[in-house]
Structure 1
Amino acid sequence: MRNRLISVSTIVFGAFGVIIVNLIPLIGIAAGEWNLRAILLIYWIEAVTTVLIAATKSLFAEQGSPGLQAKMEPLHELRAKRGGFQLFHGWPPIYPRNIPFALTILGFWISVGAPPSVLYLWFGHPEFIFSVDILLSIGALVGMQVFEFMTEYIGENEYTDVSAQAIVQTPAQFSAVVLSVGILSTAGDSVTGGGLVFVIVIMKTIISVRRFYAEHAETSILAGLPDFIHQLISRVFEMSRSDEDEIEPQPEVTLPDAEVNARVSTDRRAVLLGSIWTIIFGLFNRFGVGSLVVPAVAVIIGDPLLIGVAMIIPLAVFGAQVLSFYLRYGTIEYQRRGDSIVAYDTVLDAPQWIAPVHTAEFEVKNAVSDRLLDTGTLDITAEKIDRDIQFGPVSNIETAVETLDLPVSQTDRPDRDLAVMGAATALALSFLVVPIGMYFSEKVAPLTAIGFTIAVGPFLFIPVGLLIHAGLSRI
């Protein structure tokens, strides 16, 4: 009973603190020193802080996130990764499987919240007054979130009961508030008036209190309260840390009870080379295409400095794809344990998958990287494994098969076929004749050529990429 009362009092006083901090802007409004632009500045900084902290929280979330039918998250392939690594002593581990959710949170703000904010700041010519009370309000709103993250989420081990998928929803409400304030502020204070500012602050306060209850309060804490109060709070503030459909047990693999009889490591050169094709095909999604839009617009504008800054986005996407692919295959050691083959991550110190040797099916993969480096890879199909797994790439596939005693009799790839290579090259060039010729034609303006490339380029990359891949696979 005492623990329950302490929990209830903690939640009540915590919610009271959230209310006080969020109502601070009303003091500035009452004093006549604040307007919608000042509110926008304060809420924008708080929203950015919320996004960054939510992304950081998702990395530490210990519970698993249920699988989604559509693989919409960036680097969604990392969701199959098992284990984590400790970044700071005394802190919980960071789980690579949560990185796609952290990137989703950041991508949501960059694609939805940031562009209107930048346009408003660029074209609206806002005049902000950095007074002491505004700085104190910003410090209070940001400091409250940082304090909660350090003392409660990390200090009180709240990360053990939440999944990354549940945390993704947090920034959406604040982004909506910031965007609404920004849109309203463009109308000018003379039109909107102080009354509308008051309404916005109250709505923002309600959203903050609602989020506080959803993140901190559990149904069991208020079980002793009268039923009508319990039902009212549960309905208004959604008294649950996260929905059941957003959490599943921590996804870990149990090692077989057998000693390691043999080990084979991957060929890291082949892993890095093989990542190129994954990167190319990974660009054909909304995040990949979106990363190319800003550089394309910068090229049309023609500002060299803007082009250089804009190229940071696709380079960051490219680097993330390389690291993701390397983390999937480059740190793996294949172990023979009894009648099983185990893919063990030596960096995360955790098994990734386990396949039965005698019942699994092994098939040689005709990878381009293996063709160029004379390495080898096997595709593995086994029951009770609901995802694609592979063995390799390894430096010498025959030696690896013999070392691990795998039931593979044929390790040769298809023979070189010059006819396929020639046909694929000729067809690829036929697709590229028109767009390349536009840049050398005096009758076509440079902006027209660039616009045509932006509009048609993504559709040409698919057949050209497939043809190049087909030709290299028979080199």
Structure 2
Amino acid sequence: MPHPGSTRRTLAAILGANALPVVGVLALDWTVSTVLALYWLETGVLVARGGVEGLFAGRPPATEAGGWAPFEDLADKRGGVVLYDALGPLYPRNVPVAVGALWLVLLVWPLGGVGLSVVGPDRLLAPGSAPTVAVALAGIVVSNAVGLAAAVRRGRYDDRPVHAAIPQGRIVGLVALILAAGAFANPPETATVAGTSLVFGVVVAVKLCLDVGAFLAARGSVPVLSRLAARTQESAPEEPAHVPTGDPAARVRTDRTAVRLRAVGLGIVSAVLPPSGLVAFGGAFLTWAFHGTLAAVALALAVLAVAVLVRVVEQDVLFGHLEYRIYDEGVLAYDRLLDAPQWFVPTHDIADTRTSDGLLGHRFGYDTGVLRLQRRDGGDARLVFLDDADRVLATVDR
């Protein structure tokens, strides 16, 4: 149960933040479209906060991220890594859904700004309002950063999935408000002061209702709102993987150098394929058109470097810390970074075994291979990036 004092402080902060546009219009010569521009910027901050906050959710995602989601292979990873003791573990399995939310910022959110600039005539920012809007935006960023740290530190999402941290209803409501009100922003000279004031009052009131409603739903203060919010927050707890007792007969670790070499190749490929490829080529073309060839090449190389770095981190989390423990009872894959068992195949369930060269094989001087354990139900488990797959096979056969 949240402390009453904490609830009052949060509500006071919400009221104060929503009073800021009123102050801007009355004292700083903001227009309605200036307020909408600030709300649009706040929407991007909310999505980014939800994506980061969701990484710390303790339960598996309530729904799959979808085949298009970046880093979808991480969805099957078990366990979490503690980056800072006060914040608790960060779970790689939440990355696909969280990054999917951030893609909304990178791909869809800018379209909202374009739409606002179209439906809201000429002046998105009133003359001279840019510094005060920047100060307001800085306050929004700081407020959300403090809220994020507090939510994670207090374990608000320890028993909830990643979707609970992403305020989808509030974000959709904000975007709808922005686009709907944009048609009335900066009205023509013939518009009355009363009409413009009415539009502004409705916009501020609806925004306040969205913020207070999201807060009350999260706290469970209003049962109807809480039930609506909970529909996307239900998920079953993660089933534990079986771990045999006693010491294993052998422990085999993956070759991290081979993992990184593969990651570099994947990064180069992903940098030229959509959606990264669209950003790289589109951005390079526009940069070339306005700033010349050197700037365009620099941008393309920057996108390539980021794509490679991201893939190196992803592949290292996936495979770089795996340790295959071979027992008489079966084979266990254990992740030393996440300190969690990943999967277990009992000996009696292994119908067939075979080895093959890995993606690198002998091409780069790394004799890494793959050991495939064919299960009786038709599925299989793979031991990857092995220095000597035949030796591991012999150990399993014994």
TM range (shorter): 0.7 to 0.9
The whole-number CA distance in structure 1 between the counterparts of 2:300 and 2:200 is 36
Q: How does 1:130-145 map to 2 (within 5 A)?
A: 130=129, 137-138=136-137, 141-145=140-144
Counterpart residue number, 2:149: 150
Which of 375, 380, 389 is the matching residue for 2:373?
380
Cα RMSD for the two superposed structures: 3.8
Counterpart residue number, 2:389: 397
Instruction: Classify 1:45/1:317 alpha carbon distance in 2 versus 1 (closer, same or farther; 3 Å).
Output: same
Contact 1:365 1:377 in 2 (8 A): yes
Contact 1:260 1:335 in 2 (8 A): yes
Does residue 325 (structure 1) correspond to residue 315 (structure 2)? The answer is yes
SS at match of 2:144: helix
Structure of greater Rg = 1
Q: Normalising by structure 2, report the TM-score.
A: 0.80
**CA deviation after TM superposition for structure 1 residue 307, in Å:** 4.8
Instruction: Classify 1:281/1:329 alpha carbon distance in 2 versus 1 (closer, same or farther; 3 Å).
Output: same
Which structure has the highest helix share of the two? 1
SS at match of 2:89: coil
**CA deviation after TM superposition for structure 1 residue 77, in Å:** 0.6
Matched residue type, 2:212: V
Matched residue type, 1:266: T
Counterpart residue number, 2:262: 274
The whole-number CA distance in structure 2 between the counterparts of 1:72 and 1:288 is 13
Contact 1:357 1:407 in 2 (8 A): no
Which of 345, 355, 364 is the matching residue for 1:364?
355
Which of 81, 103, 112 is the matching residue for 1:85?
81
Contact 2:256 2:320 in 1 (8 A): yes
Counterpart residue number, 2:223: 234
Instruction: Classify 1:104/1:65 alpha carbon distance in 2 versus 1 (closer, same or farther; 3 Å).
Output: same
Which of 72, 96, 100 is the matching residue for 2:96?
100
Which of 207, 231, 239 is the matching residue for 1:243?
231
The whole-number CA distance in structure 1 between the counterparts of 2:34 and 2:124 is 13
Matched residue type, 2:216: Y
Report % sequence identity.
Answer: 19
**CA deviation after TM superposition for structure 1 residue 348, in Å:** 1.7
**CA deviation after TM superposition for structure 1 residue 68, in Å:** 2.3
Contact 2:88 2:153 in 1 (8 A): no
Contact 2:326 2:396 in 1 (8 A): no
Contact 2:56 2:90 in 1 (8 A): yes
SS at match of 1:334: strand
The whole-number CA distance in structure 1 between the counterparts of 2:233 and 2:34 is 39
**CA deviation after TM superposition for structure 1 residue 8, in Å:** 7.1
The whole-number CA distance in structure 2 between the counterparts of 1:180 and 1:278 is 39
The whole-number CA distance in structure 2 between the counterparts of 1:189 and 1:277 is 56
Q: How does 1:425-444 map to 2 (within 5 A)?
A: none
Q: How does 1:59-458 map to 2 (within 5 A)?
A: 59-68=55-64, 70-117=66-113, 126-127=125-126, 129-130=128-129, 137-138=136-137, 141-151=140-150, 153-170=151-168, 172-173=171-172, 176=175, 179-180=178-179, 183-184=182-183, 190=189, 193-217=196-220, 233-235=222-224, 237-239=225-227, 242-243=230-231, 246-250=234-238, 252-275=240-263, 278-279=266-267, 287-295=275-283, 297-298=285-286, 301=289, 303-304=292-293, 305-309=295-299, 311-360=301-350, 361-372=352-363, 373-382=366-375, 389-402=381-394, 405-407=395-397
SS at match of 2:371: strand
Counterpart residue number, 2:51: 55
**CA deviation after TM superposition for structure 1 residue 124, in Å:** 6.2
**CA deviation after TM superposition for structure 1 residue 94, in Å:** 0.9
**CA deviation after TM superposition for structure 1 residue 167, in Å:** 2.6
SS at match of 2:331: strand
Unpaired segments ≥5 residues, structure 2: none
**CA deviation after TM superposition for structure 1 residue 185, in Å:** 7.5
SS at match of 1:162: coil
The whole-number CA distance in structure 2 between the counterparts of 1:63 and 1:295 is 38
Matched residue type, 2:217: A
SS at match of 1:370: coil
SS at match of 1:319: helix
**CA deviation after TM superposition for structure 1 residue 353, in Å:** 1.2
**CA deviation after TM superposition for structure 1 residue 281, in Å:** 6.9
Instruction: Classify 1:125/1:272 alpha carbon distance in 2 versus 1 (closer, same or farther; 3 Å).
Output: same
The whole-number CA distance in structure 1 between the counterparts of 2:53 and 2:378 is 30
Contact 2:326 2:332 in 1 (8 A): yes
**CA deviation after TM superposition for structure 1 residue 248, in Å:** 2.4
Aligned length, in residue pairs: 385
**CA deviation after TM superposition for structure 1 residue 349, in Å:** 1.7
The whole-number CA distance in structure 2 between the counterparts of 1:289 and 1:282 is 7
Matched residue type, 2:260: L
Instruction: Classify 1:187/1:179 alpha carbon distance in 2 versus 1 (closer, same or farther; 3 Å).
Output: same
Unpaired segments ≥5 residues, structure 1: 223-232, 409-475
Contact 2:97 2:162 in 1 (8 A): yes
SS at match of 2:237: coil
